[in-house]
Amino acid sequence: MKIRNKKATFNYTIIDKYIAGIELKGTEVKSIRDLSVTLTDTFCHITNGEMYVKNLVIPRYKNSHLSVFHEENRDKKLLLKKDELKKIKKQIKDVGKTIIVLEILTVGNRIKLKIATAKGKNASDKRNSIKKRDIDMDMKRGL
C-alpha cells in the first residue's frame, strides 16, 4: 500500500530521501489502511530534538465506536535515528529548504513515511518540469 503526495515533486526539488516511522493511535492506523489520508500541504519540523509532521489529516475511522476518537490534525511524532536527524538539521539550515512528506507506505505490518529534504521551485523551474514531461511523453508515443 502506498499513498503518494503527487504535488511534492512538482513544487519541490528533492535533495535527500529518508524513511521514518510514525507514532500513531489504533484508529489512525485503520484509517490509513482504508486509504483515507490527506497528504497535501504536509511538512515536518524539528522541535526539542524530535521531528513532527504537521497537516497530516487522518480522519476518524468509519467503523469505530463513537466513544473512540482521535484528533484528526494533531502533530504526529516521527521516529528517526539521531544521526539521521542531525544530517537533516544540517541540510535544512539554508533558507528555502524544508522537510516534506513524499508518501506513506507499509513495511511488513508497520506504517512508514518517506520524507525528503527539499528546496522550493520557482515558476520557471515548474515550467521546465512541464516541458520536460511533455517531451518525454512525445518520445514514448513516437511523435
Identify the pLDDT of residue 2. Answer: 83
Regions of the chain with pLDDT less than 70: 64-70, 143
Residue 138: how many CB atoms within 10 A of its CB?
A: 10
Identify the pLDDT of residue 24. Answer: 87
Residue 141 zone, left/alpha/beta (φ > 0; ψ -120 to 50; rest) = alpha
Q: In sequence order, what E strands does 29-96 have?
A: 43-47, 50-54, 76-79
CB-based burial, 38-49: b 16+ in 10 Å, e otherwise: ebeebbbeeeee
Q: Are 66 and 96 in contact (CB under 8 A)?
A: no
Identify the pLDDT of residue 21. Answer: 93
Contacting residues for 106 by C-beta, under 8 A, at least 6 apart: 1, 112
The domain segmentation of the chain, as residue ranges, is 2-141
Q: What is the CATH number of domain 2-141?
A: 2.40.280.10
**SS in 3 state form for 78-114?**
EECCHHHHHHHHHHCCCCCEEEEEEEEEEECCEEEEE
Give me 38's grid cell: 490527506
